Structure 1
Amino acid sequence: MTKFIYQSPVKQILNKSILIIIVVCFSACNNLQKQKTIKLAHGLDTNHPVHKAMIFMNNDLKKRSNGTMSIEIYPNQQLGNERQTLELLQIGSLGMTKVSAAVMENFSPNMKVFGLPFLFKNKAHLFNVLDGNIGKELLDGGQKYWLKGLGYYDSGSRSFYTKKAPVNTPNDLKGLKIRVMESPTAMTMVNSLGGAPTPISWGELYTSLQQGVVDGAENNPPSFYLSRHYEVCKYYSLDEHTSIPDVLIMGTHLWNDLNKQQQEWVQASVSASVKHQRILWAKAEQEALDAVKKAGVQITYPDKSKFQNKVTKMYENYKNEAEVYSLIQRIQKVK
């Protein structure tokens, strides 16, 4: 015979309330467990189009994942320079970063092909390479080094800026110490043009220019402007020698920890931010040129062929590296 236990209405309501609280707490804890926050570090200013594109990417990821995924962004080298953030990715201490493909060549050697001067005919040619099979192949190539490539941001074209005189011909580089990224290809290029390449961290460059450690540097217009290097260097020579993209990288430790759905969300948000960044970039590039000109910088447009003739031998230097030499030939064939 089942024994009936009487409960007062007040006690019944109290028990139901406790049950509801338990369910709500369990649901909240379960949702907390599903939350995924990705830490992303980069070295650029918060006004840079790259940083703005990352904010767009975070908002897009939140929407796609229904709030279960987000990106925490650390700009201005807060967590280290580009080499250091890549090393943090490799050991799983950081989730994502943005680095120049020139720095990536130290970790994924075939990326060095992007550092070759005058490799791309124009912007359309560059994007066709990046968005096609060659670009994907190079992104995937970093996985054996624990670095998962996700997409390319536009980084424009790099040109020389100097303190004392414009660089209108390769002869104007003779005797000048030019800051370059930590890239063997960049160093070879400046050497070929007659300058003295000097690798210096981006965060240390302003002071190095002020103190005369280097006589100049090379970079794209938004970086030249937002870094305020135009305050020291009053000559900007738009030879546009290289078009090296920025690369969004995730450590394979984190990538492999995501489930298939989360991986799809991340990749989709990266792709959306790439499209958005390229629009932002085009606008920022013109605004930067207008701003530095207004600040008294002399902008010149040298004959690119004079520079190009000095560096063509660099292509032949890669004949002994079958994979890179094949990439050069394949890129040149892309329309």
Structure 2
Amino acid sequence: MVSRKKKLLLVMSIVGLLLVISTTGLFAAGAQEATSTEQKSMTLRLAHISDEGHPSHKASMLFKELVEEKTDGVVKVEVYSNSSLGSAPEYTEQLQLGALELGLVTSGQLQVWVPEYGAVMIPFLFEGYEHAHRALDGEAGELLADYAAEQGFVVIGNWEWGFRQLSNRLLKVEKPADVARLKMRVPNEIQLESMYKALGATTSIISFPELYMALAQGVVDGQCNPLSTIYYQKLYEVQPFVTILNHVYNTQMLVASEKAWNSLTEETKQIVLDASAQAGALARELTVNSEEELIQKLEEADVTVNYPDLAPFRDKMGPAIKTIGDFAGNEFTDKFVKLVEQAR
């Protein structure tokens, strides 16, 4: 999803090229055209945090295949899974600095540099996957991409992370008071921290690469992530209780550094956009369609999966929603929520 500001810059560049042609003659114009349409050989490194069985990795491999095929191997893609190029905050910073070409970044991770993305994770904002996809593939997502572009991030397209579910090692969570008995791991994302505090839990910020060990050693009691992450990262091995809350939705985006994006010809950019669209569709399909199967697999592994009444949890979210609005900007948050409601 290239922002509208990027599109405007592209139009301005074309106008500038026409002025060069009119003032310097066909030879100079021909030289300009050759350098702007011939893609140089290059390698794009794509970093993500997931295990190789995860939908994000499978989609990344499809993206690699499509880009290399459509560019006849001129552009190669190297996929780095399992935080092998660093944690998500680390490689997201590298994207902004232009030291890394591509990364899969969630809304919660990008908000460190683009706080407006914090509004995506307002608790219980989206009624389901279709609603979230309509909103973020439309005007609400374009609005966010504009803010990302101002900070040097090119949002190529929306893939999938998913709705978060709560897992823990101590008890079956049926009401907010049960959450208050837990010490919850949270990433460095204000939405989850404020949400669990509103439910009465204590929280501890732990990075994703350290999550499994922290859970296994009892440093924290619980965490929340989509079912695909709970299963493929094997968190269920040390978390015998999973509660289906669908309380926070995370989009995961394919993001390019501005430096890498500007090194691509217009033809290659379109190939990357098309490949991202196909890969993102696969990530969504694998994530959404596998959830019932994953629940069955978790239950077969002696994990207790339950579905509490969500109303008491929603009723506690007022303080968290206020905190998130202050973080993302209240004027922006109001506008964003209205666009999301229009997509309902």
Structure 1 equivalent of residue 77 of structure 2: 71
CA 1:33 to 1:61, structure 2 compared with 1: closer, same or farther past 3 Å?
Answer: closer
The root-mean-square deviation of aligned C-alpha atoms, in Å, is 1.7
Structure 1 residue 287 displacement after superposition: 2.8
Structure 1 residue 321 displacement after superposition: 2.1
Whether the 8 Å contact between 2:231 and 2:294 is mirrored in structure 1 is yes
Whether the 8 Å contact between 1:178 and 1:216 is mirrored in structure 2 is yes
Structure 2 equivalent of residue 20 of structure 1: none
Amino acid paired to 2:138: G
Please give the per-residue CA displacement for 1:252-271, whole angstroms capped at 9, x wherever unaligned.
11111222222111111111
Give distance in 2, aligned partners of 1:236 and 1:108: 31
Could you tell me the TM-score, scaled by structure 1's length? 0.87
| Among 173, 182, 188, the residue aligned to 2:188 | 182
Question: Secondary structure in 1 aligned to 2:245?
Answer: strand
Structure 2 equivalent of residue 328 of structure 1: 337
Structure 1 equivalent of residue 57 of structure 2: 51
Query: Do structure 1's residue 297 and structure 2's residue 303 form an aligned pair?
Result: yes
Structure 2 unaligned runs (5+)? 1-37
Whether the 8 Å contact between 2:123 and 2:321 is mirrored in structure 1 is no
Amino acid paired to 1:77: S
Amino acid paired to 1:48: H
Amino acid paired to 1:184: I
Amino acid paired to 1:258: L
Structure 1 equivalent of residue 226 of structure 2: 220
Please give the per-residue CA displacement for 1:192-230, whole angstroms capped at 9, x wherever unaligned.
111112211111111111221101001111110111111
Whether the 8 Å contact between 2:39 and 2:264 is mirrored in structure 1 is no
Structure 2 equivalent of residue 135 of structure 1: 141
Percent of counterpart pairs with the same letter? 27
Structure 1 equivalent of residue 247 of structure 2: 241
Whether the 8 Å contact between 1:315 and 1:325 is mirrored in structure 2 is no
Structure 1 equivalent of residue 10 of structure 2: none
Q: Which runs of 4+ in 1 moved over 4 A?
A: none
| Among 83, 90, 93, the residue aligned to 2:89 | 83
What are the equivalent positions in structure 2 for 1:1-335 lying under 5 Å apart? 34-317=40-323, 318=325, 321-335=330-344
Give distance in 1, aligned partners of 2:62 and 2:292: 21
Structure 1 residue 141 displacement after superposition: 1.7
Amino acid paired to 1:237: T
Whether the 8 Å contact between 2:158 and 2:252 is mirrored in structure 1 is yes
Whether the 8 Å contact between 1:139 and 1:151 is mirrored in structure 2 is no
Structure 1 unaligned runs (5+)? 1-31
Question: Secondary structure in 1 aligned to 2:135?
Answer: helix
Give distance in 2, aligned partners of 1:198 and 1:151: 31
Q: Which has the larger radius of gyration?
A: 1
Could you tell me the TM-score, scaled by structure 2's length? 0.84
Whether the 8 Å contact between 1:85 and 1:94 is mirrored in structure 2 is yes
Give distance in 1, aligned partners of 2:333 and 2:230: 30
Whether the 8 Å contact between 2:166 and 2:225 is mirrored in structure 1 is yes
Amino acid paired to 2:282: H
Q: Mean Cα displacement is larger for which, 46-55 or 304-313?
A: 304-313
Give distance in 2, aligned partners of 1:41 and 1:316: 33
CA 1:314 to 1:174, structure 2 compared with 1: closer, same or farther past 3 Å?
Answer: closer
Please give the per-residue CA displacement for 1:20-51, whole angstroms capped at 9, x wherever unaligned.
xxxxxxxxxxxx98222100111100010110
